[in-house]
């Protein structure tokens, strides 16, 4: 037992040292650190303000206000339980079987029991830290409204730790058993895909219910009706039930909270013990199975595409889970975007025209963010192996065109899908429909060239992950350039759109000047930016050899 505890604390110290080193490296970039901290506090402030308003609003429902708040609390905790379970399962694959430190640990004097318990703490932290961004403002808002006693915050903090440990232990137990039956990598990919699809369907479900209308003034009774749709069964075998009871026990002074606290502690203890015994028996065998699995080819040799660069990038895309899951997320965002437009309250006629105009800018920002992830990063993702392309007989101009084309085609399809789908729903006038489609087609071309060009000007071959490329100085400049490019386009279109709308109201066509000048500005802007990006990108690509 003593050896296990010693190994447990040594492993925690080892992990915390690595975590502190990573944080120190992140902290050195003061700009990125300040922005990240500011965004975290901004999110918690906005979440706290929103939760405060919702709780106070529901509490004002006559007679049943407090009961509805308790039911809303139950909904929040059961939702966090589901999301936390999914996050813990996916994280457990990385911390248990794909961790880089496993090879070091298995040849070190660490006791397996201590390592297994250390990985439980590690997984619980990685899987649940984002939940704290919601739970912290939630309990602060609840405490302020219901005047919770001071000690309740300490009790809630310990109970939350037990809650997180319970979910992590249960998830890690399931993952350890599943790895003995199914291939670990494919199972993790399947879960990620399921999370994206399930999250998209859940969002669509809530949008169909029009839940936002319950927050309108005088709709307390309607809010009560909506909450009654989510009547949760009493499930004392779930930790979320006892978390709800614990929070509800602080509504009135003298209410008993010890039973709920003890049950959460018991849950954490029992599930941690179950995980410990399962992992002691099966963890090493599962890790050995993962290491011995041979990764199959996704494409037979000589299959589409035939160009060697395109074939390499296509194979890399398919084999890299991070890339194709991000593409899947983009598809999910397309569905969410279209659903949001469909559910917009466009009762006033001119709003159709206004939203159709603003929709051009929104699609532009979507395309620029996609270009940052894929087009801007395409050169840098070659990494230190870029010298192979430089030493090959491949012409660098052709390489630039290939990198541009393989990202331009999907981006163009994405932009046209968004604009045609949203215009079908909005039903703007024919002229605006045609103009918006042509402008989005131009934006897809120009933003792709800008991304490929700036990716050559500001490469990051030493990046350990795509996120480091996106958040680099070149990525920031690309987003700024994209922002001003889209802004200038919107200003040019606004001149024509205003004249066109007034012509519809007055019944006669706009002055030719208001049609010719904006069209000329749009064409000149796109052509000049595209040509400059193309020439500057090729020149920078030819000079990269001295930077590798």
Q: Which of 219-223, 236-240, 468-472 holds the top average pLDDT?
A: 236-240
DSSP single-letter state for residue 301: T
Greater confidence (88 vs 501) lies with 88
Statement: residue 432 has pLDDT above 50: yes
DSSP H helices in 180-253:
184-209, 220-229, 239-249
Backbone φ and ψ for 405, nearest 5 degrees, come out as: -70, -40
230 falls in which pLDDT band (50, 70, 90)?
very low
The pLDDT value given to residue 158: 92
Statement: residue 39 has pLDDT above 50: yes
The pLDDT value given to residue 501: 73
Average pLDDT over residues 323-332: 68
pLDDT digits (tens, 9 = 90+) for 514-526: 667 778 888 888 8
The pLDDT value given to residue 169: 92
How many other CB atoms are there within 10 angstroms of residue 399's CB atom?
19
204 falls in which pLDDT band (50, 70, 90)?
low
Statement: residue 121 has pLDDT above 80: yes
The pLDDT value given to residue 547: 46
Statement: residue 367 has pLDDT above 90: no
Place of tokens 């399921």: 194
Alpha carbons 404 and 453: distance in angstroms, whole number: 9
The pLDDT value given to residue 166: 93
220 falls in which pLDDT band (50, 70, 90)?
very low
Alpha carbons 548 and 546: distance in angstroms, whole number: 6
84 falls in which pLDDT band (50, 70, 90)?
confident
Alpha carbons 244 and 215: distance in angstroms, whole number: 23
Task: Give the predicted TM-score (pTM) of the model.
Answer: 0.61
Buried b (16+ CB within 10 A) or exposed e, 142-165: bbeebebeeebeebbeebbbbbbb
The pLDDT value given to residue 164: 92
The pLDDT value given to residue 297: 42
What is the three-class DSSP state of 335? helix
Ranges of each domain in the chain: 32-291, 318-546
Mean pLDDT in the chain? 76
By CB atoms closer than 10 A (0-12, 13-18, 19+), residue 511 is exposed
For residues 410 and 495, the answer to whether their CB atoms sit within 8 Å is no
Alpha carbons 210 and 203: distance in angstroms, whole number: 11
Q: Which of 72-76, 98-102, 231-235, 511-515 holds the top average pLDDT?
A: 72-76
The pLDDT value given to residue 296: 47
């Amino acid at each position: 037992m003593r050896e296990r505890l010693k190994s447990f604390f040594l492993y925690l110290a080892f992990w915390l040292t690595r975590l502190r080193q990573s944080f120190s490296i992140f902290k050195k970039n003061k700009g990125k650190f300040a922005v990240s901290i500011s965004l975290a506090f901004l999110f918690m402030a906005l979440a706290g303000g929103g939760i405060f308003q919702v709780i106070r609003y529901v509490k004002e429902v006559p007679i049943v206000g407090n009961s509805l708040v308790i039911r809303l609390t139950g909904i929040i905790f059961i939702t966090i339980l589901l999301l936390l379970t999914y996050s813990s399962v996916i994280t457990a694959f990385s911390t248990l079987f794909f961790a880089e430190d496993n090879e070091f640990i298995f040849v070190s004097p660490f006791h397996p029991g201590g390592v297994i318990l250390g990985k439980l703490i590690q997984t619980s932290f990685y899987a649940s830290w984002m939940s704290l961004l919601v739970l912290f403002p939630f309990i602060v808002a609840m405490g302020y409204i219901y005047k919770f006693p001071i000690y309740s915050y300490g009790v809630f903090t310990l109970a939350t730790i037990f809650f997180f440990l319970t979910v992590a232990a249960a998830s890690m137990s399931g993952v350890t058993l599943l790895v003995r039956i199914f291939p670990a990598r494919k199972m993790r990919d399947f879960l990620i895909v399921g999370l994206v699809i399930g999250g998209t369907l859940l969002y669509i479900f809530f949008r169909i219910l029009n839940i936002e209308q319950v927050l309108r003034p005088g709709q307390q009774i309607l809010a009560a009706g909506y909450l009654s749709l989510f009547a949760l069964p009493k499930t004392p075998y779930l930790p979320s039930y006892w978390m709800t009871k614990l929070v509800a026990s602080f509504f009135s002074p003298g209410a008993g909270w010890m039973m709920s606290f003890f049950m959460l502690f018991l849950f954490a203890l029992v599930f941690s013990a179950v995980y410990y015994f399962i992992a002691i028996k099966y963890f090493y065998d599962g890790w050995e199975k993962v290491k011995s699995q041979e990764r199959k080819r996704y494409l037979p040799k000589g299959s589409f595409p035939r160009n060697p660069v395109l074939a390499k990038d296509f194979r890399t895309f398919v084999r890299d889970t991070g890339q194709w899951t991000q593409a899947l997320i983009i598809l999910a965002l397309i569905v969410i975007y279209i659903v949001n437009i469909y559910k917009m309250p466009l009762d006033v006629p001119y709003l159709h025209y206004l939203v159709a105009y603003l929709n051009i800018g929104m699609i532009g920002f979507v395309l620029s963010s996609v270009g940052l992830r894929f087009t801007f990063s395409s050169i840098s993702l070659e990494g230190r192996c870029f010298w192979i392309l430089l030493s090959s007989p491949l012409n660098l101009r052709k390489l630039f065109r290939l990198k541009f084309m393989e990202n331009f085609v999907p981006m163009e399809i994405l932009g046209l899908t968004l604009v045609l789908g949203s215009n079908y729903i909005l039903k703007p006038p024919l002229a605006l429909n045609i103009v918006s489609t042509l402008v989005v087609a131009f934006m897809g071309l120009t933003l792709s060239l800008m991304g490929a060009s700036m990716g050559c000007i500001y490469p990051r071959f030493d990046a350990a992950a795509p996120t480091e490329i996106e958040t680099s100085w070149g990525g920031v400049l690309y987003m700024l350039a994209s922002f001003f490019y889209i802004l200038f386009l919107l200003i040019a279109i606004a001149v024509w759109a205003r004249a066109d709308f007034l012509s519809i109201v007055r019944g006669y066509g706009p002055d030719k000047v208001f049609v010719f000048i904006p069209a000329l500005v749009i064409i000149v802007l796109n052509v000049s930016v595209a040509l400059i990006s193309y020439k500057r990108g090729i020149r920078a690509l030819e000079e990269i050899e001295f930077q590798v």
